[in-house]
Amino acid sequence: MGGVLEGTVALVTGAGGGIGSATVKAMMDAGAEVIATDLQAPAGGTLSLAHDVTDQAQWQQVADTIRDRWGRLDVLVNNAGTVKIASIEQTTIEDWRRMMAVNAEAILLGHQAMLPLLREAGKNREGGASIVNISSVSGLVGNAFAAAYGASKAAVRLFSKAAALEFAALGYNIRVNSVHPGGVETDMSELICQTFVDMGMAPDMAAARADSARLQPIGRTGKPSEIANAVVFLSSTAASFITGSEMAVDGGWTAG
Ligand SMILES: NC(=O)c1ccc[n+]([C@@H]2O[C@H](COP(=O)([O-])OP(=O)(O)OC[C@H]3O[C@@H](n4cnc5c(N)ncnc54)[C@H](O)[C@@H]3O)[C@@H](O)[C@H]2O)c1
């Protein structure tokens, strides 16, 4: 995909994690300048910043930094996320609030803080500025022991569609789409497998990973780069007619 993001300024949150770091790399390989943020400033990126996505003031600081250096933002990737696998009976209100804060509320904060910079980019960028919100298969279909996580990710899906329609109505030239990964080999999926072992749902990690692979009809989990490639596409001018869509990148998990 070399060069499709030449001249693009992009922000990726949660960029210290598996999918986030792969997205930063794929975007830079495609020619973008990337602001990479995470709770602690991550490795990689044209610029790396510490940024808690639940903190409105920190969003504004990141926006100010980008305005001072670039004056605009072409692409926003809301990727930071957190999960706690648990039965509904075992899910605490603190678990619920944490997932809602990181996975859902941060989407609102991110759109609000970056909108002036994205609008600026939309004035000149062919195909418009682009927001890619990372949801999950759990935002499309129900998954046992993921009720709170699924609720937070379903919020991302419809927020994205509403934002796409609203920005179109306002003439902002900003596209908004959601991406729905299936199981992807990252720290998060390892944590999920470990939780299933701890819950007695799988005898050991090898069995939990095999169960996870079987959820995809193609019989394997995904690699972070396979999600990153979809994000690069949606961010690029090649996706100029795509807004308000939900892209499953899930090995067929949600196709049936
Ligand atoms: N791995 C999967 O199987 C999978 C499947 C579907 C969706 N997703 C989603 O993909 C995204 C990336 O997940 P991943 O698999 O790379 O997991 P990961 O745990 O490797 O990365 C998540 C990153 O988000 C960061 N983060 C958490 N809370 C934050 C906060 N308050 N502020 C800023 N950063 C914060 C973490 O520090 C971490 O670096 C998440 O939104 C996740 O829900 C992952």
Which member of 53, 121, 148, 149 is catalytic? 149
pLDDT at position 5 over 70: yes
Which one of 135, 188, 191, 225 would you pick to mutate in the ligand 1 pocket, going by the greatest count of ligand atoms within 8 A of its CB? Answer: 188
**pTM of the full predicted structure?**
0.98
Mean pLDDT, rounded, of the chain:
98
Once rounded to an integer, what is the mean pLDDT over residues 186-201? 97
Check whether 2 has a pLDDT greater than 60.
Answer: no
Ligand 1 center from residue 169 Cα (angstroms): 31
The ligand 1 atom nearest the CA atom of 40: 37
Q: Which CATH number does the domain housing residue 70 bear?
A: 3.40.50.720
In a domain, 97, yes or no: yes
Mean pLDDT, range 89-118, rounded to an integer: 98
- Any atom of ligand 1 within 6 Å of the Cβ of 251: no
CB of 54 within 6 A of ligand 1: the answer is yes
Query: Percent of the chain having pLDDT more than 70?
Result: 99
Residue 1 lies in a domain: no
Does a structural domain hold residue 3?
no
**Dihedral, 116, 233, 14, 245 alpha carbons, nearest 10:** 70
Mean pLDDT confidence for 192-213: 98
Domain residues for the domain of 137 are 9-249
**Looking at residues 44-65, what average pLDDT do you find?**
98
CB 36 within 8 Å of CB 66: no
Q: Is there an atom of ligand 1 within 6 Å of 52 CB?
A: yes
* Catalytic (active site) residue 172: no
Whether the predicted pLDDT of 60 surpasses 70: yes
Please tell me the residue having the least CA distance from ligand 1 atom 25.
Answer: 14
Q: CB of 13 closer than 6 A to ligand 1?
A: yes
The pLDDT tens digits for 206-241 are 999 999 999 999 999 999 999 999 999 999 999 999
Q: How far is the CA of 83 from the centre of ligand 1 (A)?
A: 8
pLDDT tier, 140 (very low <50, low <70, confident <90, very high otherwise): very high
Report CA(15)–ligand 1 centroid distance (Å).
8
| Residue 1 predicted with pLDDT over 70 | no
Number of domains in the chain: 1
Identify whether 4 is part of a domain.
no
Model confidence at 77: pLDDT above 80: yes
Q: What was the pLDDT predicted at 184?
A: 98
Average pLDDT over residues 21-34: 98
- Whether 28 is in a domain gets the answer yes
